[in-house]
């Protein structure tokens, strides 16, 4: 009788492109009769027994085997790569290893972007960016080494039903804007600001974790078509990116405005049945949100969102410093009001 474990393993091999579907269909009747799957794989695919054994050990290549590293577990998955928590045997440091998946490794453009991102992270030094330690190749596996951040992305928190109040959301905007200001000072536009690319560490720090689409401000490269981006990316694109135009820091400001909206309202400002409809709304429809007024959010917050998400880039904040100054002033003003209200409350209790 066929075991459920072997059936699942064969399905995983097909899913990961290691065994052709027609080969699996030839194998399956014998597997149902109780024959050993590993022997069947060797006979029908011509693979060495050691290869099949490795597939078993690594869950069909899902768990990488990299010399010098002990894989401690998977920390996250993306469209092109998986991130693993690993111990570097030489130094005993716990690091994050970002491993390019098999399909993306076969794509020269995706592979080049992966290498470029890793080299870029290695050059940058800012507390709001994950520190990179280079890109490497082991056999056919491409991976980058980086600081490991224990925590959750803002998207994970939103998906779990976490609510961000105005104060917390503005602190996110301030921290991310400071990191993006550093990138802009180095001539870099991020191009993919969204909650899924912002990590809230268990220490309370906020860090940008993905520079996969980052490029020079004057780079002729245009935003990738919706079909080439990671899931959800189109929801945060600026109107100029939605139309296929080049991005500058004002495009990142727009995307951070969408992120701010998502954090405080709990939904995206523009939604549709497919990517094309969302892109059309990004370009054509004005921002409408009764929640901004009904939830007791301040006029200052509404102003930030509307200015950051202006359709015309010339009507947005024109620099990160301009945005940072406004948001920091609002945060400090709220803290001062909170402090004064605490003083008044204490004075009333003494009477």
The answer to whether residue 282 scores a pLDDT higher than 90 is no
Pick from 275, 273, 270, 280: nearest CA to 309? 270
Q: Which of 276-280, 283-287, 296-300 has the highest mean pLDDT?
A: 296-300
Q: Helices (H) and strands (E) in the chain — how many of each?
A: 14, 10
In the sheet where 141-147 sits, what is the strand order?
69-77, 81-88, 94-100, 141-147, 132-138
Pick from 287, 281, 274, 194: nearest CA to 239? 281
Residue 230 binned pLDDT confidence (cut-offs 50, 70, 90): very low
Find, among 13, 139, 172, the residue nearest to 66 by Cα. 139
DSSP class of residue 129 equals B
**Confidence tier at 270 by pLDDT (50, 70, 90):** confident
Tens-digit pLDDT profile for residues 164-191: 999 999 999 999 999 999 999 999 999 8
The angle, 0 to 180 degrees and rounded to 10, between the axes of the packed helices 4-15 and 37-45 is 30
Domains of the chain in start order, with CATH, are: 4-57 (no CATH), 69-147 (3.30.200.20), 151-336 (1.10.510.10)
Average pLDDT, the chain: 86
Q: Work out the pLDDT band at 242, boundaries 50, 70, 90.
A: confident
- Determine contact, residues 323/250, Cβ cutoff 8 Å: no
- Mean pLDDT score, 131-141: 94
Task: Write out the catalytic residue numbers.
Answer: 192
Give yes or no for residue 61 having a pLDDT over 90: no
For the whole model, what pTM was predicted? 0.78
Helices (H), the chain: 4-15, 21-32, 37-45, 49-57, 102-105, 108-123, 154-159, 166-185, 239-242, 249-265, 275-284, 290-294, 299-308, 320-350
Q: Are the beta carbons of 179 and 126 closer than 8 angstroms?
A: yes
User: What SS3 class is residue 188?
Assistant: strand
């Amino acid at each position: 009788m066929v075991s459920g474990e072997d059936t699942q393993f064969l399905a995983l091999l097909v899913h990961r492109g290691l065994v052709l579907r027609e080969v699996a269909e030839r194998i399956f009747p014998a597997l149902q009769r109780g024959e050993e799957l590993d022997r069947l794989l060797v006979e029908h695919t011509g693979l060495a027994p050691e290869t099949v054994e490795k597939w078993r050990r690594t869950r069909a290549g899902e768990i990488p085997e990299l010399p010098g590293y002990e894989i401690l577990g998977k920390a996250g998955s993306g469209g092109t790569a998986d991130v693993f928590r690993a111990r570097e045997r030489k130094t005993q440091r716990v690091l994050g290893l970002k491993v390019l998946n098999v399909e993306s490794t076969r794509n020269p453009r995706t592979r080049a972007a992966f290498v470029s991102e890793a080299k870029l992270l290695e050059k940058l030094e800012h507390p709001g960016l994950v520190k990179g330690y280079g890109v490497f190749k082991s056999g056919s596996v491409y991976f980058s080494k980086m600081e490991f951040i224990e925590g959750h992305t803002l998207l994970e928190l939103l998906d779990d039903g976490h609510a961000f109040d105005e104060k917390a959301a503005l602190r996110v905007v301030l921290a991310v804007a400071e990191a993006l200001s550093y990138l802009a000072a180095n001539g870099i536009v991020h191009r993919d600001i969204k909650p899924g690319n912002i990590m809230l560490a268990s220490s309370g720090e906020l860090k940008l974790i993905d520079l996969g689409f980052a490029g020079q401000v004057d780079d002729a490269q245009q935003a990738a078509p919706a079909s080439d981006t990671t899931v959800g990316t189109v929801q945060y694109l600026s109107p100029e990116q939605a139309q296929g135009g080049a991005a500058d820091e004002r495009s990142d400001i727009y995307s951070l405005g969408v992120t701010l909206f998502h954090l405080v309202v709990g939904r995206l400002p523009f939604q549709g049945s497919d990517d094309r409809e969302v892109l059309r709304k990004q370009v054509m429809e004005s921002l409408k949100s009764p929640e901004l007024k009904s939830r007791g959010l301040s006029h200052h917050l509404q102003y930030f969102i509307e200015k950051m998400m202006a359709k015309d880039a010339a009507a947005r904040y024109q620099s990160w410093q301009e945005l940072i100054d406004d948001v920091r002033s609002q945060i400090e003003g709220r803290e001062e009001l909170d402090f004064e209200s605490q003083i008044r409350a204490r004075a009333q209790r003494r009477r």
